[in-house]
Structure 1
Amino acid sequence: MNNRSVLVTGAHGYLGSVLMGELDSRGYRTVGVDNGLMSDVRVPLRHGSYVDADIRKCDDWAPILDEVDAVVHLAAIVGDPACGLDEDLAWQTNYLATVSLTEACRRHGVRDFFFASTCSNYGLSFGEAAGLHTALHPQSVYAESKIYSEHHLLSNAGEGFRPRILRLSTLYGLSPRMRFDLSINVMTAHAVNRGEITVNGGFQWRPFLHVRDAAEAFIRAIEARPASPLSVWNCGSAAQNHRIIDIAEIIAAEVQGAQILRREADADSRDYLVDFAGIGEDLGFTPSRGVVEEVRLLAQAVGSGRFGSCAGTEYSNNETLRALMRTVHTDSAFPNNPTAAIRLAHQNG
């Protein structure tokens, strides 16, 4: 059994559920922290446990930090649409909770802190591959909240606190907590279930990364011993920088009969290529899974009926949060404060 203990926030999520399973299979002692707001998926563990807790109230559970060697901070309102539903909640969860957790880790002597950021921070790369010194052009509250969190972590770096930041590419692939609000996943689902792949614009560039490769990158970071007290990595590979239309064509080639529908008027403003040289050099990380192979697996899983129509609220961060907000908005005690209402609703189960 591995002697190291790792606490993972957002442990029930799309990436968190995969990472918890991978850490456990390698013998790490794990503690998964999640409030269950977006998901209640719990991967069975041999060497770990779960704690029902809200990262916005880390003082309530901070004593757990005395027993861990490292923290992997994944918990967030993830995605541009979900953050747009309630920007106040997004800032509380994505930024202010990160500040609180940083302070708690410093108080409790947790030196190693690994943060899930996003390549969406670049927003626009103007046709050039964005590296770590490229100017950031966030196009959403989600990206802005991650940038602010990065700044706070790096400003607190020192001998007693060593943050490592992984700017993740857009994730895809099968997970215990499945999502169909991610580009490759939802396009594949629509190809299978509707025979159509809708492409808004199509010539925008995006970097992609399999969710299990993302988990592997965090484990590589945990096990690395870099000389620098702080590190930031773009997490992905040059081979998986794709235009959205390229992804659609890959899916159409794998799903017989699927047609591509182009909508130029609804083109997404985000358009960025990313340079991933650093993570290969520092961590020896190269993704082992590719888009074509995973599209085949996704298509098989969707075609088998495993996820129904793939339109269930539980498969979308945006729709999960929207449904909860519709419920709590009926409470006259909080007619204009969805953040407070969501918190109360969660506390009341």
Structure 2
Amino acid sequence: MRRRVLITGGCGYVGSALVSRLVRDGGYHVTVLDNGLIEGWRMEGGPVDYIEGDVRDIDDWSAVLKNVDCVVHLAAVVGDPAGSINTELTWEVNYLATVRLATECRKAGVARFVFASTCSNYGVVDDVADIDSPLQPQSVYAESKVRAEHHLLVSQDVGFTPVIVRLATLYGLAPRMRFDLAVNVMTAHAVRNSKVEVHGGKQWRPFLHVNDAAKALQLAMEAGATPSVPQVYNCGSDADCYQLGDIGRQIAAEVPGSEVVTLDSVTDVRDYRVSFERMEKNLGFRPDMKVVDGIREIRDSLIAGEFTDYTHERHSDYLSMSASVQRGDPAGRCRSGQGHSDVTTDCRAGSGV
């Protein structure tokens, strides 16, 4: 019998990769809840049920959660710049809606709840951060994620076993593509403009391919329940932790004719390295992709003409959020489900997460 999983924000960056993975697996009946605001992605002809709705506005969660075995909660206002446009909305979506969904899962008897969080919660770290390290959120986005984590952890019991997955900075091709992430947008600039801009360049970041993020979330869905132990994992690879200047040089090496331009202005002060040993040890997670693989696939897709305008708002959570506000949307609605990552480049250039 196929397991029934509900994925909130399943048309977004991580969601599109996860849905594709679970459909290929064949062992799941997938339902996606997404508000469909951004020109997004749906699996054509696939065994997926779609519910168009916002996680803040569901009147009858009991109907949505009926017979569901697991919830993967990706829905969020994602990234520092997008989260700062309407901070009240960010708290509503990222924290209050998570609290309500967790409550409804407990009432409906849905024990497994996988929450996509972010390594951005660590903020600035002198040493290598593990899950027991102090959290130093540098934005409303990260603060809302930290608060949501706290609520899930105190709600844990034998009938409700949340798994918190703090994702590293994402990159790579996905069915719903984003070019507001560091590796993705820097590679696009190199291909189109022969220039890779790096702000500062000394900041450390761990990186993770979006398909590996989907792999990790599936492992978290399938992990055995251990209600007496907090299940919090950093998700990434020790081998894929770089300073931003190193990322720029990797891109320039893979895109002939491009050059690195280092700017003194630092638009993002976060600086952290993270240990991923716990997730590898407990869940057996090991990434399949490296940053250089993501650079090459994005380079090749752009050269092949697969993206006519990588700067379009549909490829940027920050620009989509800004456009929604400018259109005068009374609810200030943003897409509640664009996947998770860290802001690593200048949001004014459309590169916020």
TM-score, length of structure 2 as denominator length: 0.91
* Aligned-partner residue type, residue 213 of structure 1: D
Residues in 1 aligned to 2:99 and 2:226: alpha-carbon distance in whole angstroms: 25
Equivalence map 1:1-349=2 (5 Å): 3-27=2-26, 28-44=28-44, 46-126=46-126, 128-229=127-228, 230-328=230-328, 340-342=331-333
More helix by share: 1
CA offsets per residue over residues 68-89 of structure 1, 9 Å max, x none? 1000000001111111111111
- Aligned residues of 1:252 and 1:260 also touching (Cα < 8 A): yes
- RMSD over aligned CA atoms reads 1.4
SS class of match (1:41): coil
Distance in 1, matches of 2:219 and 2:313, equals 33
Q: Does structure 2 retain, via aligned residues, the 8 Å contact 1:198–1:260?
A: yes
Q: Indicate if the aligned counterparts of 2:171 and 2:184 stay in contact, CA closer than 8 A.
A: yes
- Residues 89-113 of structure 1 deviation map (CA, whole Å, 9 limit, x = unaligned): 1111111100110111011110000
Identity %: 46
Q: How many angstroms does 1:249 deviate by?
A: 0.5
Cα deviation for residue 169 of structure 1 reads: 0.3
Give structure 2 stretches of 5+ with no counterpart. 335-353
After superposition, give the CA deviation of every residue in 1:157-208 in whole Å (9 maximum; x if it has no partner).
Answer: 0011100000000110001110000000000000000111110000000010
Q: Is the 8 A contact 1:301 1:307 kept in 2?
A: yes
| Aligned-partner residue type, residue 140 of structure 1 | S
Cα deviation code 1:9-61 (max 9, x no counterpart) = 00110000110111111121010000112343112354321111110123334
The one-character-per-residue Cα deviations of 1:305-346 (angstroms, maximum 9, x if unpaired) are 2111311110000001111111116xxxxxxxx5x2548xxx
Q: Any conservation in 1 of the 2:161–2:226 contact (CA below 8 Å)?
A: no
CA contact 2:40–2:314 (8 Å) conserved in 1: no
Separation of aligned partners in 1, 2:44 and 2:79: 27
Structure 2: distance between partners of 1:81 and 1:180: 14
Contact persistence 1:13–1:39 (CA under 8 A):
no
- In structure 1, distance between residues paired with 2:75 and 2:39: 11
In 1, distance between residues paired with 2:235 and 2:39?
24
Shift of 1:148: 0.3
Cα distance per residue 1:230-278 (max 9 Å; x no partner): 4000000100111000100100000001111111123421000000000
Give the letter aligned to residue 89 of structure 1. Answer: L
Partner Cα distance (2:75, 2:324) in 1: 18
- Residue type of the alignment partner of 1:259: E
Q: Report the Cα distance in structure 1 between the residues aligned to 2:99 and 2:165, rounded to whole angstroms.
A: 17
Distance 1:192 1:224, change over 3 A: same
Residue pair 2:324, 2:332 contacting (<8 A) in 1 also:
no
Give, in whole Å, the separation in 2 of the partners of 1:308 and 1:10: 25
Give the total of aligned pairs.
332
| TM-score of the pair, normalised by structure 1 | 0.92
Aligned partners of 1:341 and 1:317: how far apart in 2?
A: 14
Give the aligned residue type for 2:222: E
- Describe the SS at the equivalent of 2:280: helix
Q: Per-residue deviation at 1:3?
A: 2.0
State the distance in 1 between where 2:102 and 2:18 align.
21
Structure 1 residue runs without a partner (length 5+):
330-337, 344-349
Distance 2:134 2:198 in 1: 28
Counterpart amino acid of residue 121 in structure 1: N
The answer (yes or no) to whether the contact 1:58–1:101 under 8 Å persists in 2 is no
CA distance in 2, matches of 1:111, 1:39: 32
State the structure with bigger RCO (CA 8 A, min sep 6), 1 or 2: 2
Paired residue type of 1:79: G
CA distance in 2: counterparts of 1:250 and 1:294, whole angstroms: 11
Aligned partner of residue 310 in structure 1, secondary structure = coil
